[in-house]
């Protein structure tokens, strides 16, 4: 087994790091649990610069505006952007919508939607969850009824992250009420400026302002349907797996872990002996290092499977679930070791690591985004171990 990158991949990573050193000063880096408007706009600026170099979609085929490389190069980009804590934007367009359109879209949809994503001109949000529907996604209720050459949408979507920044929503709606629940769902792209769409703000514990998105007689042309009518469930399950190498998410946490190691070697929050002098601290940190390395390899395994043409499925859930729990273990350990100082938020002069410990702890407590831990356990048991539902 060869864990090394090729010389070209190493060269790409070195160029990327040089770019990030110049463009992403510490004061602009994202702080966990605090995504300000300024930080968000900074993330978009960086994406525009990456797009100018044709790096943003380095793994996409050239015919779709990409760099013609593959998932490994896209993974190198994700890992380094995460490690440099570049504020997150564009991820749904780049990670899910673009690949979904490449697989299921018509030529006209490829021409219309892929270029703006690759050029970082547009932002997408994802409309899957609803007020009464989360884990049991196939029970979704948002209706899309055919009326001539349009679909008319009524209902609402819940927990729409990035809704206030997005131009488009990629969503699932029910198009056949008589069919079995998985077989009556279709996938659409909706321009959020379409009359009848409105947003109610929904603040998350991680500092982000998300939304409930309402659809009130929203008319979408037939050309907004992605893939086949009533096959949206199957299309969505395939595209969800595109999202899950998780390298950005891993590296984002890894950076705080590495910074925390340095902090423990140099100081203690109360000005006493450095934390690393205590054997208990050293052992706990060593244990978390095992966790971080394992998480990294699980993520790269998914990227490697994608680069070999395989479709990761339970492997993506293994990496995602392990990561969610490792993030929480690290956050809880740091909280315990730093005591009350750990609870100080960004902005307090005494907050260790710019408040990242408090922020990561707040963020780590939510285990629901992109599927709860129980749902990922179900996937691993059923699809990975062949156990019954």
Ligand X SMILES: Cc1cc2nc3c(=O)[nH]c(=O)nc-3n(C[C@H](O)[C@H](O)[C@H](O)COP(=O)(O)OP(=O)(O)OC[C@H]3O[C@@H](n4cnc5c(N)ncnc54)[C@H](O)[C@@H]3O)c2cc1C
Of 275 and 360, CB closest to ligand X: 360
Least CB distance from residue 163 to ligand X, whole Å?
8
Least CB distance from residue 70 to ligand X, whole Å?
27
Give CA–CA dist 39/317, Å, rounded.
Answer: 30
- What is the C-alpha radius of gyration for the chain, rounded to an integer number of angstroms? 21
Residue 151 φ/ψ, nearest 5 degrees? -110, 140
Interior angle at CA 135, CA 134 and CA 140, nearest 5: 50
Least CB distance from residue 234 to ligand X, whole Å?
18
Of 72 and 331, CB closest to ligand X: 331
Of 68 and 134, CB closest to ligand X: 134
Residues in contact with ligand X by the rule CB under 6 A: 125-129, 134-135, 159-161, 204, 366, 368-369, 371-372, 374-375, 378
Environment class of 14 (CB within 10 Å of its CB; exposed 0-12, middle 13-18, buried 19+): exposed
| Eight-state DSSP code of residue 344 | P
Least CB distance from residue 204 to ligand X, whole Å?
5
Give CA–CA dist 9/6, Å, rounded.
Answer: 5
Beta strands in 175-276 (DSSP E): 185-191, 197-203, 209-221, 225-226
- The answer to whether 355 and 345 have CB atoms below 8 angstroms apart is yes
Interior angle at CA 371, CA 363 and CA 356, nearest 5: 15
Nearest C-alpha neighbor of 169 from the set 210, 112, 124, 201: 124
The active-site residue out of 229, 243, 325, 332 is 243
Least CB distance from residue 381 to ligand X, whole Å?
10
The CB-nearest residue to ligand X is: 134
Give CA–CA dist 77/57, Å, rounded.
Answer: 9
Give CA–CA dist 19/47, Å, rounded.
Answer: 12
- The answer to whether 187 and 235 have CB atoms below 8 angstroms apart is yes
Environment class of 17 (CB within 10 Å of its CB; exposed 0-12, middle 13-18, buried 19+): middle
Give CA–CA dist 51/86, Å, rounded.
Answer: 15
Least CB distance from residue 304 to ligand X, whole Å?
27
Least CB distance from residue 167 to ligand X, whole Å?
15
3-class DSSP assignment, residue 124: strand
Give 230's contacts (C-beta < 8 A, 6+ positions apart). Answer: 175, 176, 179, 183, 184, 185, 186
Of 146 and 377, CB closest to ligand X: 377
Of 89 and 284, CB closest to ligand X: 89
Least CB distance from residue 373 to ligand X, whole Å?
7
Of 116 and 207, CB closest to ligand X: 207
Of 262 and 374, CB closest to ligand X: 374
Of 220 and 305, CB closest to ligand X: 220
Determine whether 73 is an active site residue: no
Residue 186 vs residues 21, 70, 145, 153: alpha-carbon distances, Å? 43, 29, 11, 12
3-class DSSP assignment, residue 181: helix
List residues with catalytic annotation. 243
């Amino acid at each position: 087994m060869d864990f090394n990158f090729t010389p070209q991949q190493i060269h790409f990573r070195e160029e990327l790091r040089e770019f990030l050193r110049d463009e992403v000063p510490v004061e602009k880096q994202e702080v966990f649990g605090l995504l300000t408007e300024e930080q968000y706009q900074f993330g978009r600026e960086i994406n525009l610069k990456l797009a100018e170099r044709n790096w943003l979609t380095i793994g996409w085929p050239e015919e779709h505006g990409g760099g013609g490389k593959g998932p490994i190069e896209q993974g190198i980009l994700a890992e380094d952007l995460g490690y440099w804590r570049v504020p997150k934007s564009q991820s749904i367009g780049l990670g899910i919508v673009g690949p979904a359109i490449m697989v299921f879209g018509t030529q006209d949809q490829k021409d219309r939607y892929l270029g703006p994503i690759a050029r970082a001109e547009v932002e997408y949000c994802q409309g899957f969850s609803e007020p009464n529907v989360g884990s049991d996604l196939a029970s979704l209720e948002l209706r899309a009824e055919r009326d001539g050459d349009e679909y008319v949408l009524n209902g609402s979507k819940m927990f729409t992250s990035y809704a206030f920044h997005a131009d488009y929503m990629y969503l699932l709606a029910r198009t056949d009420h008589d069919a079995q629940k998985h077989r009556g769902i279709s996938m659409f792209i909706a321009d959020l400026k379409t009359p009848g769409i409105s947003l109610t703000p929904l603040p998350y514990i991680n500092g982000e302002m998300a939304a409930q998105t309402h659809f009130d007689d929203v008319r979408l042309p037939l050309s907004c349907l992605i893939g086949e009518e009533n096959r949206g469930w199957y299309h969505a399950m395939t595209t969800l797996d595109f999202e899950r190498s998780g390298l950005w998410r891993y590296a984002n946490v890894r950076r705080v872990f590495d910074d925390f190691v340095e902090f423990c070697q140099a100081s203690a929050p109360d000005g006493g002996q450095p934390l690393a002098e205590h054997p208990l601290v050293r052992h706990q940190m060593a244990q978390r290092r095992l966790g971080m390395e394992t998480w990294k390899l699980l993520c790269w395994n998914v990227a490697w499977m994608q680069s070999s043409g395989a479709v990761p499925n339970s492997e993506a859930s293994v990496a995602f679930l392990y990561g969610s729990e490792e993030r929480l273990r690290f956050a809880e350990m740091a909280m315990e070791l730093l005591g009350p100082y750990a609870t100080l938020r960004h902005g307090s002069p005494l907050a260790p690591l710019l408040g990242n410990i408090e922020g990561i702890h707040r963020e780590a407590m939510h285990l629901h985004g992109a599927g709860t831990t129980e749902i990922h356990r179900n996937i691993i048991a059923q699809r990975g171990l062949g156990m019954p539902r």
